[in-house]
């Protein structure tokens, strides 16, 4: 087998492990797991919280309302989602979209770490508090940490508001979460362009 097919089969094996996973209670209420999708070897990896209802139904990340807003935000900044890899910290839908527990995050987090190890992104983006908690072991830090660069195991990590939060925050006034996100995504685009 050549390197390319080794790489793809490592990815497929990981996805199979996720499909069979019963490490936490979410396996009993899920319709299916949501592994993640996008370009392998991508420079950019976006990390959300956990699947919602639409993701649980389709098996794909960020396809519901939050995903549609994420698409709009990326398009506005001319960032190509198809060229990125999109995943979540937790691969199964929490009932009623509650925030994943620390136990669920710990039990599922190894899969995300394995995905990152395979993709080797040059930039990681944490969307909201759950990925921020996973990467940096901080809780509730998104309001302070958004728009800032951190490091996670040698990879630049950028924090942005979660699109679901933006759906609940209508204002576009200066300093509002939507307006701040517009600046953040442009900053992200600048850094991405510097890689090319
Ligand atoms: N919210 C997330 O955090 N991830 C998804 O995939 C969808 C909604
Ligand atoms: N809580 C989150 O998890 N994410 C946000 O972006 C804002 C509040």
Please write the tens of the pLDDT for every residue from 151-172: 999 999 999 999 999 999 989 9
pTM of the model: 0.95
Which segments within the chain are labelled E, that is strand? 37-38, 44-48, 85-88, 123-127, 149-152, 155-160
Look at the block and give the residue holding tokens 């392998």.
40
Residue 82 to residue 196: CA distance in whole angstroms: 16
Our answer on whether the CB atom of 146 is closer than 6 Å to any ligand 2 atom is: no
Q: What is the CATH number of the domain that holds 135?
A: 3.40.470.10
Q: Find the 128 Cα to ligand 2 centroid distance in Å.
A: 4
- Which atom of ligand 1 lies nearest, measured to the CA of 61? 6
pLDDT at 1: 59
Our answer on whether the CB atom of 188 is closer than 6 Å to any ligand 1 atom is: no
Beta carbons within 10 angstroms of residue 34's beta carbon: 29
Report, as an integer, the average pLDDT of 72-85: 98
Report, as an integer, the average pLDDT of 118-130: 98
Which residue has a Cα nearest atom 6 of ligand 2? 161
Q: For residue 44, list its beta bridge partners.
A: 123
From residue 39, alpha-carbon distances to 119, 147, 165, 171, 186 in Å are: 9, 24, 26, 33, 21
Our answer on whether the CB atom of 121 is closer than 6 Å to any ligand 1 atom is: no
Asked whether the beta carbons of 74 and 81 are under 8 A apart, the reply is yes
Residue 189 to residue 196: CA distance in whole angstroms: 11
- Provide the domain limits for residue 95: 3-195
From residue 149, alpha-carbon distances to 79, 111, 144, 169, 194 in Å are: 18, 23, 12, 24, 15
Count of structural domains within the chain:
1
Whether the predicted pLDDT of 185 surpasses 90:
yes
pLDDT at 3: 82
Q: Find the 11 Cα to ligand 2 centroid distance in Å.
A: 29
Return the higher-pLDDT residue of 160 and 3: 160
Whether the predicted pLDDT of 33 surpasses 80:
yes
Whether the predicted pLDDT of 40 surpasses 80:
yes
Our answer on whether the CB atom of 37 is closer than 6 Å to any ligand 1 atom is: no
pLDDT at 96: 96
Which residue has a Cα nearest atom 7 of ligand 1? 62
């Amino acid at each position: 087998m050549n390197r390319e097919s080794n790489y793809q089969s490592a990815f497929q094996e990981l996805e199979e492990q996720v499909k069979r996973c019963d490490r936490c209670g979410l396996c009993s209420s899920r319709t299916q797991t949501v592994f993640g999708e996008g370009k392998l070897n991508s420079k950019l990896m976006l990390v959300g919280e956990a699947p919602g209802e639409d993701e649980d139904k389709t098996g794909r990340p960020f396809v519901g309302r939050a995903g549609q807003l994420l698409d709009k935000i990326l398009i506005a900044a001319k960032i190509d989602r198809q060229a990125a890899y999109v995943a979540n910290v937790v691969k199964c839908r929490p009932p009623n979209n509650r925030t994943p527990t620390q136990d669920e995050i710990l039990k599922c987090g190894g899969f995300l770490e394995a995905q990152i190890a395979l993709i080797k992104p040059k930039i990681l983006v944490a969307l909201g508090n759950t990925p921020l908690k996973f990467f940096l072991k901080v809780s509730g830090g998104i309001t302070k940490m958004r728009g800032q660069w951190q490091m996670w195991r040698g990879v630049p990590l950028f924090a942005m508001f979660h699109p679901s939060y933006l759906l609940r925050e209508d204002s576009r006034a200066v300093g509002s979460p939507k307006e701040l996100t517009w600046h953040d995504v442009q900053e992200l685009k600048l850094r991405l362009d510097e890689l090319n």
